[in-house]
Amino acid sequence: MNNKHRIKTDLGKVVAIGGGHGLGRLLSALSFLEQNLTGIVTTTDDGGSTGRLRDEIGCIAWGDLRNCLSQLTSGNDLKNTLFEYRFKEAGSLSGHSLGNLMLLALDNMCTRPTDTLNLFRDFLNVKANIFPMSETPAHLCACDDKGCKILGEVNIDAAEALPVGIEIVPEVSAPAEVISAIKSADVIILGPGSFITSVLPPLLIPGIKEAIINSNASKLLVANMVPEDGPTGKIQLKEKINWMEGVVGKNLFDTIIWPESRLLRGPGNLNIIRANLKTSDHERLHDKVKLAEIIHEVSVNIQNTRHT
Protein backbone atom coordinates (compact mmCIF):
# COMPACT_ATOMS: atom_id res chain seq x y z
CA MET A 1 0.00 0.00 0.00
CA ASN A 2 1.56 3.32 -1.03
CA ASN A 3 1.67 6.24 1.38
CA LYS A 4 -1.02 8.32 -0.35
CA HIS A 5 -3.43 5.40 -0.37
CA ARG A 6 -2.77 4.77 3.33
CA ILE A 7 -3.34 8.45 4.18
CA LYS A 8 -6.52 8.52 2.10
CA THR A 9 -7.85 5.41 3.83
CA ASP A 10 -7.01 6.64 7.34
CA LEU A 11 -8.19 10.24 7.00
CA GLY A 12 -11.63 9.61 5.54
CA LYS A 13 -13.46 12.85 4.74
CA VAL A 14 -11.43 16.05 5.17
CA VAL A 15 -12.79 19.60 5.27
CA ALA A 16 -10.32 22.50 5.00
CA ILE A 17 -11.44 26.04 5.80
CA GLY A 18 -9.78 29.36 4.98
CA GLY A 19 -8.77 31.54 2.08
CA GLY A 20 -5.98 32.95 0.02
CA HIS A 21 -2.91 31.07 -1.13
CA GLY A 22 -2.64 29.14 2.15
CA LEU A 23 -5.83 27.15 1.68
CA GLY A 24 -4.99 26.50 -1.97
CA ARG A 25 -1.60 25.10 -0.98
CA LEU A 26 -3.21 22.84 1.64
CA LEU A 27 -5.85 21.58 -0.78
CA SER A 28 -3.15 20.88 -3.35
CA ALA A 29 -1.20 18.88 -0.76
CA LEU A 30 -4.28 16.72 -0.09
CA SER A 31 -5.64 16.63 -3.65
CA PHE A 32 -5.13 12.84 -3.85
CA LEU A 33 -8.10 12.53 -1.47
CA GLU A 34 -10.25 13.55 -4.47
CA GLN A 35 -13.99 13.55 -3.58
CA ASN A 36 -13.15 13.02 0.11
CA LEU A 37 -11.62 16.52 0.23
CA THR A 38 -13.74 19.67 0.62
CA GLY A 39 -12.52 23.27 0.66
CA ILE A 40 -14.70 25.94 2.27
CA VAL A 41 -13.40 29.25 0.98
CA THR A 42 -13.56 32.75 2.44
CA THR A 43 -15.48 35.15 0.18
CA THR A 44 -14.92 38.55 1.80
CA ASP A 45 -11.81 39.65 -0.11
CA ASP A 46 -12.10 43.20 -1.47
CA GLY A 47 -8.67 43.79 -2.99
CA GLY A 48 -7.23 43.62 -6.51
CA SER A 49 -9.27 42.27 -9.41
CA THR A 50 -11.78 40.73 -7.01
CA GLY A 51 -12.35 44.02 -5.21
CA ARG A 52 -12.93 45.89 -8.46
CA LEU A 53 -15.51 43.35 -9.57
CA ARG A 54 -17.23 43.53 -6.21
CA ASP A 55 -17.40 47.34 -6.39
CA GLU A 56 -18.80 47.28 -9.91
CA ILE A 57 -21.05 44.21 -9.87
CA GLY A 58 -21.80 43.47 -6.21
CA CYS A 59 -20.75 39.81 -6.49
CA ILE A 60 -19.09 37.50 -3.98
CA ALA A 61 -15.30 37.49 -3.90
CA TRP A 62 -14.15 35.06 -6.60
CA GLY A 63 -10.37 35.45 -6.23
CA ASP A 64 -9.71 32.94 -3.45
CA LEU A 65 -12.09 30.44 -5.04
CA ARG A 66 -10.22 30.80 -8.33
CA ASN A 67 -6.90 30.33 -6.55
CA CYS A 68 -8.06 27.11 -4.88
CA LEU A 69 -9.39 25.70 -8.14
CA SER A 70 -6.16 26.60 -9.89
CA GLN A 71 -3.94 24.95 -7.27
CA LEU A 72 -6.07 21.81 -7.46
CA THR A 73 -5.62 21.61 -11.23
CA SER A 74 -3.09 18.99 -12.24
CA GLY A 75 -0.45 19.93 -14.81
CA ASN A 76 0.06 23.16 -16.71
CA ASP A 77 -2.41 22.64 -19.52
CA LEU A 78 -4.01 25.38 -21.58
CA LYS A 79 -7.15 25.47 -19.43
CA ASN A 80 -5.23 26.33 -16.28
CA THR A 81 -3.02 28.81 -18.15
CA LEU A 82 -6.11 30.65 -19.37
CA PHE A 83 -7.74 30.47 -15.93
CA GLU A 84 -4.72 32.15 -14.32
CA TYR A 85 -4.04 34.68 -17.10
CA ARG A 86 -3.95 38.29 -15.88
CA PHE A 87 -4.42 41.20 -18.28
CA LYS A 88 -1.64 43.78 -18.59
CA GLU A 89 -1.74 47.12 -20.40
CA ALA A 90 -5.29 46.34 -21.52
CA GLY A 91 -7.20 49.46 -20.52
CA SER A 92 -10.01 48.82 -18.08
CA LEU A 93 -9.15 45.10 -18.12
CA SER A 94 -5.62 45.71 -16.79
CA GLY A 95 -5.03 43.81 -13.57
CA HIS A 96 -8.07 41.58 -13.97
CA SER A 97 -7.67 37.82 -13.78
CA LEU A 98 -9.33 36.02 -16.68
CA GLY A 99 -10.37 33.30 -14.24
CA ASN A 100 -12.27 35.84 -12.13
CA LEU A 101 -14.05 37.13 -15.23
CA MET A 102 -14.87 33.60 -16.37
CA LEU A 103 -16.33 32.73 -12.98
CA LEU A 104 -18.34 35.95 -12.91
CA ALA A 105 -19.65 35.39 -16.44
CA LEU A 106 -20.79 31.85 -15.70
CA ASP A 107 -22.24 32.93 -12.37
CA ASN A 108 -24.50 35.33 -14.26
CA MET A 109 -25.87 32.32 -16.14
CA CYS A 110 -26.23 30.04 -13.09
CA THR A 111 -28.72 29.99 -10.25
CA ARG A 112 -26.08 29.70 -7.51
CA PRO A 113 -22.34 30.35 -7.15
CA THR A 114 -22.00 26.72 -6.07
CA ASP A 115 -23.35 25.65 -9.47
CA THR A 116 -20.73 27.85 -11.13
CA LEU A 117 -17.96 26.23 -9.09
CA ASN A 118 -19.16 22.73 -9.92
CA LEU A 119 -19.11 23.52 -13.64
CA PHE A 120 -15.57 24.87 -13.37
CA ARG A 121 -14.48 21.83 -11.37
CA ASP A 122 -15.59 19.73 -14.32
CA PHE A 123 -13.90 22.11 -16.77
CA LEU A 124 -10.57 21.93 -14.89
CA ASN A 125 -10.95 18.25 -13.91
CA VAL A 126 -10.84 19.06 -10.19
CA LYS A 127 -12.06 16.14 -8.07
CA ALA A 128 -12.19 17.89 -4.68
CA ASN A 129 -15.30 19.77 -3.63
CA ILE A 130 -15.07 23.57 -3.44
CA PHE A 131 -17.72 25.72 -1.76
CA PRO A 132 -17.93 29.42 -0.88
CA MET A 133 -18.45 30.12 2.81
CA SER A 134 -21.59 31.98 1.70
CA GLU A 135 -23.31 32.56 -1.62
CA THR A 136 -24.34 36.08 -0.56
CA PRO A 137 -21.95 39.05 -1.00
CA ALA A 138 -20.64 40.27 2.35
CA HIS A 139 -17.75 42.22 3.87
CA LEU A 140 -15.57 41.80 6.92
CA CYS A 141 -16.02 44.63 9.42
CA ALA A 142 -13.77 45.24 12.42
CA CYS A 143 -13.99 47.55 15.40
CA ASP A 144 -10.86 49.18 16.86
CA ASP A 145 -10.22 50.06 20.51
CA LYS A 146 -11.67 53.56 19.93
CA GLY A 147 -14.98 52.19 18.72
CA CYS A 148 -14.33 53.05 15.07
CA LYS A 149 -15.50 50.70 12.32
CA ILE A 150 -12.99 49.36 9.79
CA LEU A 151 -14.75 48.01 6.71
CA GLY A 152 -13.15 45.55 4.31
CA GLU A 153 -10.25 43.09 4.37
CA VAL A 154 -7.79 45.49 2.76
CA ASN A 155 -8.36 48.14 5.43
CA ILE A 156 -8.33 45.58 8.26
CA ASP A 157 -5.03 44.12 7.03
CA ALA A 158 -3.57 47.64 7.01
CA ALA A 159 -4.62 48.41 10.60
CA GLU A 160 -1.84 49.00 13.13
CA ALA A 161 -3.45 47.11 16.01
CA LEU A 162 -5.50 43.98 16.51
CA PRO A 163 -9.22 44.87 16.42
CA VAL A 164 -11.33 44.39 19.52
CA GLY A 165 -14.23 42.96 17.54
CA ILE A 166 -15.02 41.63 14.08
CA GLU A 167 -18.15 40.59 12.19
CA ILE A 168 -19.57 39.78 8.76
CA VAL A 169 -21.85 42.46 7.29
CA PRO A 170 -24.54 41.88 6.35
CA GLU A 171 -25.19 38.71 8.31
CA VAL A 172 -25.13 35.79 5.89
CA SER A 173 -25.67 32.05 6.01
CA ALA A 174 -23.61 29.17 4.67
CA PRO A 175 -24.80 26.92 1.83
CA ALA A 176 -26.45 23.71 3.03
CA GLU A 177 -23.63 21.74 1.35
CA VAL A 178 -21.07 23.45 3.59
CA ILE A 179 -22.84 22.51 6.81
CA SER A 180 -23.37 18.96 5.56
CA ALA A 181 -19.68 18.58 4.67
CA ILE A 182 -18.58 19.75 8.13
CA LYS A 183 -21.02 17.45 9.90
CA SER A 184 -19.79 14.42 7.95
CA ALA A 185 -16.07 15.28 8.20
CA ASP A 186 -13.55 13.00 9.89
CA VAL A 187 -10.92 15.76 9.88
CA ILE A 188 -11.44 19.55 9.93
CA ILE A 189 -8.50 21.83 9.18
CA LEU A 190 -8.32 25.59 9.75
CA GLY A 191 -5.64 27.55 7.89
CA PRO A 192 -2.96 28.23 6.98
CA GLY A 193 -3.48 31.82 5.89
CA SER A 194 -4.02 35.31 7.17
CA PHE A 195 -5.46 34.82 10.65
CA ILE A 196 -8.09 37.58 10.65
CA THR A 197 -8.96 37.93 6.97
CA SER A 198 -8.64 34.34 5.70
CA VAL A 199 -9.10 31.86 8.56
CA LEU A 200 -11.55 33.76 10.75
CA PRO A 201 -14.35 34.94 8.38
CA PRO A 202 -16.01 31.52 7.81
CA LEU A 203 -16.01 30.96 11.59
CA LEU A 204 -18.10 34.12 12.01
CA ILE A 205 -20.99 32.49 10.16
CA PRO A 206 -23.13 30.90 12.90
CA GLY A 207 -23.97 27.66 11.06
CA ILE A 208 -20.34 26.95 10.29
CA LYS A 209 -19.13 27.72 13.80
CA GLU A 210 -21.73 25.51 15.48
CA ALA A 211 -21.11 22.63 13.08
CA ILE A 212 -17.37 22.69 13.87
CA ILE A 213 -17.84 22.99 17.63
CA ASN A 214 -20.30 20.07 17.68
CA SER A 215 -18.19 17.87 15.39
CA ASN A 216 -16.36 14.78 16.65
CA ALA A 217 -13.79 15.11 13.86
CA SER A 218 -10.09 15.64 14.47
CA LYS A 219 -9.78 19.43 14.39
CA LEU A 220 -6.45 20.98 13.42
CA LEU A 221 -5.10 24.51 13.06
CA VAL A 222 -2.16 24.75 10.62
CA ALA A 223 0.15 27.68 11.38
CA ASN A 224 1.86 29.77 8.73
CA MET A 225 5.49 29.08 7.89
CA VAL A 226 6.51 32.64 8.84
CA PRO A 227 4.86 35.34 11.00
CA GLU A 228 2.23 37.45 9.29
CA ASP A 229 2.77 41.06 8.46
CA GLY A 230 0.70 43.33 10.68
CA PRO A 231 -0.47 43.09 14.30
CA THR A 232 -1.30 39.36 14.39
CA GLY A 233 2.29 38.52 13.51
CA LYS A 234 3.59 40.46 16.50
CA ILE A 235 1.61 38.94 19.36
CA GLN A 236 2.27 35.67 21.15
CA LEU A 237 0.42 32.54 20.05
CA LYS A 238 -1.59 32.12 23.25
CA GLU A 239 -2.72 35.75 23.07
CA LYS A 240 -3.86 35.25 19.48
CA ILE A 241 -5.80 32.09 20.33
CA ASN A 242 -7.40 33.77 23.35
CA TRP A 243 -8.53 36.61 21.08
CA MET A 244 -9.91 34.14 18.55
CA GLU A 245 -11.83 32.22 21.21
CA GLY A 246 -13.21 35.48 22.61
CA VAL A 247 -14.54 36.44 19.18
CA VAL A 248 -15.70 33.05 17.87
CA GLY A 249 -15.80 30.52 20.72
CA LYS A 250 -13.84 27.52 21.99
CA ASN A 251 -13.49 23.90 20.82
CA LEU A 252 -12.69 24.90 17.25
CA PHE A 253 -9.53 22.80 17.14
CA ASP A 254 -7.70 20.10 19.10
CA THR A 255 -4.12 20.60 17.94
CA ILE A 256 -1.94 23.24 16.31
CA ILE A 257 0.56 22.08 13.68
CA TRP A 258 3.54 24.43 13.94
CA PRO A 259 6.63 24.60 11.66
CA GLU A 260 9.73 23.67 13.63
CA SER A 261 11.69 26.27 11.64
CA ARG A 262 9.54 29.08 13.09
CA LEU A 263 10.12 30.60 16.52
CA LEU A 264 7.32 29.71 18.92
CA ARG A 265 6.44 32.56 21.26
CA GLY A 266 4.04 32.14 24.16
CA PRO A 267 2.68 28.62 23.59
CA GLY A 268 0.85 28.58 26.91
CA ASN A 269 -0.91 25.25 27.53
CA LEU A 270 -1.92 24.74 23.90
CA ASN A 271 -1.54 21.32 22.30
CA ILE A 272 1.16 22.01 19.69
CA ILE A 273 2.88 19.57 17.34
CA ARG A 274 6.09 20.93 15.79
CA ALA A 275 7.07 19.49 12.42
CA ASN A 276 9.58 19.97 9.63
CA LEU A 277 7.45 21.60 6.93
CA LYS A 278 10.13 23.51 5.01
CA THR A 279 10.24 23.40 1.23
CA SER A 280 12.81 24.64 -1.23
CA ASP A 281 10.07 26.44 -3.22
CA HIS A 282 9.63 29.48 -0.96
CA GLU A 283 10.08 30.32 2.72
CA ARG A 284 6.35 31.07 3.09
CA LEU A 285 5.15 27.79 1.54
CA HIS A 286 4.61 24.47 3.31
CA ASP A 287 6.12 21.38 1.73
CA LYS A 288 3.11 19.50 0.33
CA VAL A 289 4.29 15.98 1.10
CA LYS A 290 5.41 16.83 4.63
CA LEU A 291 2.17 18.71 5.30
CA ALA A 292 0.00 15.77 4.19
CA GLU A 293 2.05 13.37 6.31
CA ILE A 294 1.86 15.43 9.52
CA ILE A 295 -1.89 16.00 9.08
CA HIS A 296 -2.28 12.24 8.73
CA GLU A 297 -0.10 11.48 11.76
CA VAL A 298 -1.77 14.01 14.06
CA SER A 299 -5.32 13.11 12.99
CA VAL A 300 -4.76 9.39 13.54
CA ASN A 301 -3.21 10.07 16.96
CA ILE A 302 -6.20 12.19 18.01
CA GLN A 303 -8.67 9.50 17.02
CA ASN A 304 -6.60 6.73 18.65
CA THR A 305 -6.41 8.72 21.89
CA ARG A 306 -10.17 9.18 21.93
CA HIS A 307 -10.75 5.45 21.44
CA THR A 308 -8.46 4.32 24.27
Distance CA 178, CA 189 (A): 14
**Domain total of the chain:** 1
Q: What is the pLDDT of residue 178?
A: 98
Query: Is residue 225 a part of any domain in this protein?
Result: yes
Query: Is residue 24 a part of any domain in this protein?
Result: yes
Distance CA 211, CA 19 (A): 19
Determine which helix (DSSP H) or strand (DSSP E) holds 129, and give its type and residue range.
Answer: strand 129-132
> For residues 47 and 97, is the Cβ–Cβ distance under 8 A?
no
**pLDDT of 128-138, one tens digit each?**
999 999 999 99
Q: At what angle do helices 288-306 and 3-11 cross, to 10 degrees?
A: 40
The CATH number of whichever domain residue 26 belongs to comes to 3.40.50.10680
Q: What is the pLDDT of residue 1?
A: 46
Q: What is the pLDDT of residue 91?
A: 86
How far apart, in Å, are the Cα atoms of 292 and each of 14, 33, 200?
A: 11, 10, 22
Mean pLDDT, rounded, of the chain: 93
| Beta bridge mates, 129 | 38
**pLDDT of 181-233, one tens digit each?**
999 999 999 999 999 999 999 999 999 999 999 999 999 999 999 999 888 88
| Beta bridge mates, 165 | 143
Query: Is residue 86 a part of any domain in this protein?
Result: no
Query: Is residue 246 a part of any domain in this protein?
Result: yes
> For residues 225 and 277, is the Cβ–Cβ distance under 8 A?
yes
Host domain of residue 204: 3-45+127-306
